[in-house]
Amino acid sequence: MHPSASFSAAIRVRIENQPGAFARLAAAIGEAGGLLGAIDLVRVEGTTKIRDVNVLADDERHLDAIVAAVHSVDGVEVVHVSDRVFLAHLGGKLEVRPRLPLKTRDDLSMVYTPGVARVSRAIADDPEKVWNLTIKRNCVAVISDGTAVLGLGDIGPEAALPVMEGKAVLFKEFAGIDAFPLCLDTKDPDEIVRIVEAVAPAFGGVNLEDISAPRCFEIERRLRERLDIPVFHDDQHGTAIVVLAALLNALRVVEKRLEDVRIVTTGCGAAGMAVTRTLQNAGARWIVGCDEGGALFRGREGLNAAKQEYAERTNPDNLRGTADELLEGADVFIGVSVPGAISVEGVRRMAPRAIVFAMANPNPEVDPEAIEGLAEVIATGRSDYPNQINNVLAFPGVFRGALDVRARTIDPEMELAAARAIAGAISDDELSADYVIPSVFNRAVAPAVATAVAEAAQATGSARRSVAAPSTAP
């Protein structure tokens, strides 16, 4: 584990104004394994000083231990402890702001009644004008039922809301898109489809998020059939796009071709199935997917319809066995499953110059540090290791490009174009085993993805209009 802002606190302390007092405090934090951050002087009170001390920890238990260590320091009184993550969420992370001033009677008459009636009439006469005259041109609905939230599982729509708010923040920050979280209090696929259909007129796209498999497949399929705006389940397609981008670059590092490598995956839910499909669309020929029961093979009993279909189009040799057993001689491992899905010994048996993407969060399928030297390229879903595979590299640019050309859908060609654009953000000179995927803060990525997606949409006929260069803002 590594100290992270995900588990950080601002500890307000009263310290005796004498030599060595703060040094004892800092030493206690260090001995407890904490990382000392910003230190702010709040005020001086005679013989004491009030300071806010920011600390980073590995997890909640570690954070409690650090606070306890501070309590034990002579000459230091803990006044208050504030969890910085909870402080960041007070009141939510989003707000609605007008784009026009409202200061005079004239402003009111144009923005609202009576002037707005002319705009409504224009849209009624020509519905296509809704794209130019309303927020629809730059607005995405972030839809969740709270059944598969992060690694927390089925925690409900209210608990899913902070995550969906965060998703909306990323849309705005990286692509200038206005996104709004809609957390639905139903798990019924029929009802979810009806609700999204009903609210669709206000949005230019729909981002489905954290909906459990296999329901998510049906919901996305039906919405794509019924709506004329992009419907994109990010847990599936966003993950698949970024995995393909990272793999394309990793294969450049180890000098292998996608068409030739043997790929073993763990996790056959939404992400795992989409990753496999996207890799196959890009040219991969040999993939075996594994769940907790081992390899998915034709004739295996107890598989649901989605897994049966998966088995039909993968595992060309119809192999059986555990993921660890199947890793022998494999070139690539891709994990979107659970910690411990494979072992160090399994990685040791892989082909020379192996690639391991262990993306379970927060704990990968295998400890990255334990397989250093066994795999040439290692990637995870974590920000504290090299090669973080993060969906934020994909979805903002994908929707930016789709909105700019008013796409009716997001098709496989658009997804492949997005993956190639992400991979292309790393030049030959920059490429290395610990740098196969660009940083999420590389501001060149989203515009590059948007351009590639828009061009692909125009080429496939998914676009309603052509644009010379997609924007990064409304």
pLDDT of residue 468: 62
pLDDT of residue 116: 92
Burial (CB count within 10 angstroms: exposed 0-12, middle 13-18, buried 19+), residue 299: exposed
Measured over the CA atoms of residue 276, residue 278, residue 280 and residue 283, the dihedral's sign is negative
**φ, ψ of residue 34 in degrees (nearest 5):** -85, 160
pLDDT of residue 269: 86
CB burial readout 105-125, b (16+ within 10 A) else e: eeeeebeeeeeeeeeeeebee
Using omega within 30 degrees of 0 as the cis cutoff, is the peptide bond preceding 214 cis? Answer: yes
CB-CB contact of 326 with 308 (8 Å):
no
Report the 10 Å Cβ neighbour count for 417: 24
pLDDT of residue 474: 44
Q: Which residues have a Cβ under 8 Å from the Cβ of 19 and sit 6 or more positions away?
A: none
- Measure CA 463 to chain center: 25
Fold of 234-474: Rossmann fold (3.40.50)
Using omega within 30 degrees of 0 as the cis cutoff, is the peptide bond preceding 162 cis? Answer: no
Q: Could you confirm whether 136 is annotated as catalytic?
A: no
Q: Which residues have a Cβ under 8 Å from the Cβ of 369 and sit 6 or more positions away?
A: none
pLDDT of residue 392: 94
- With residues binned 3-state (H G I as helix, E B as strand, rest as coil), the percentages for the chain, rounded to 5, are 40, 20, 40
CB-CB contact of 267 with 213 (8 Å):
no
Provide the residue-wise pLDDT of the chain in tens; the chain has 474 residues: 678 888 999 999 999 888 888 888 999 999 999 999 888 889 888 888 899 999 999 889 999 999 999 998 988 889 999 999 898 898 999 888 898 888 999 989 999 989 999 999 999 999 999 999 999 999 999 999 999 988 788 999 999 999 999 999 999 999 999 999 999 999 999 999 999 999 999 999 999 999 998 899 999 999 999 999 999 999 899 999 999 999 999 999 999 999 999 999 999 888 899 999 999 999 999 999 999 999 999 999 989 988 999 999 999 999 999 999 999 999 999 999 999 999 999 999 999 999 999 998 878 999 999 999 999 999 998 887 899 999 999 999 999 999 999 999 999 999 999 999 999 999 999 999 999 999 999 999 999 999 999 999 999 999 998 876 555 544
Q: Do domains 4-89 and 234-474 have the same CATH topology?
A: no
- The pTM is what? 0.88
Q: For residue 427, what are its two tokens?
A: 């030049």
Using omega within 30 degrees of 0 as the cis cutoff, is the peptide bond preceding 362 cis? Answer: yes
Fold of 134-229: Rossmann fold (3.40.50)
CB-CB contact of 449 with 401 (8 Å):
yes
Bridge-based pairing state of the strands 35-45 and 48-57: antiparallel
pLDDT of residue 471: 55
Q: Could you confirm whether 129 is annotated as catalytic?
A: no
What span, in angstroms and rounded, lies between the C-alpha atoms of 147 and 403? 28
**φ, ψ of residue 461 in degrees (nearest 5):** 90, 10
What span, in angstroms and rounded, lies between the C-alpha atoms of 66 and 35? 10
Q: Which CATH number describes the domain made up of 4-89?
A: 3.30.70.260
CB-CB contact of 333 with 359 (8 Å):
no
Query: Which residue in the list 93, 136, 167, 187 is annotated as catalytic?
Result: 167
CB-CB contact of 258 with 247 (8 Å):
yes
Domain ranges of the chain: 4-89, 134-229, 234-474
pLDDT of residue 6: 85
CB-CB contact of 441 with 262 (8 Å):
no
Among 76, 69, 81, 80, which Cα is nearest to 20's? 76
Query: Which residue in the list 112, 129, 187, 256 is annotated as catalytic?
Result: 112
What span, in angstroms and rounded, lies between the C-alpha atoms of 150 and 159? 11
What span, in angstroms and rounded, lies between the C-alpha atoms of 199 and 212? 21
Report the 10 Å Cβ neighbour count for 362: 16
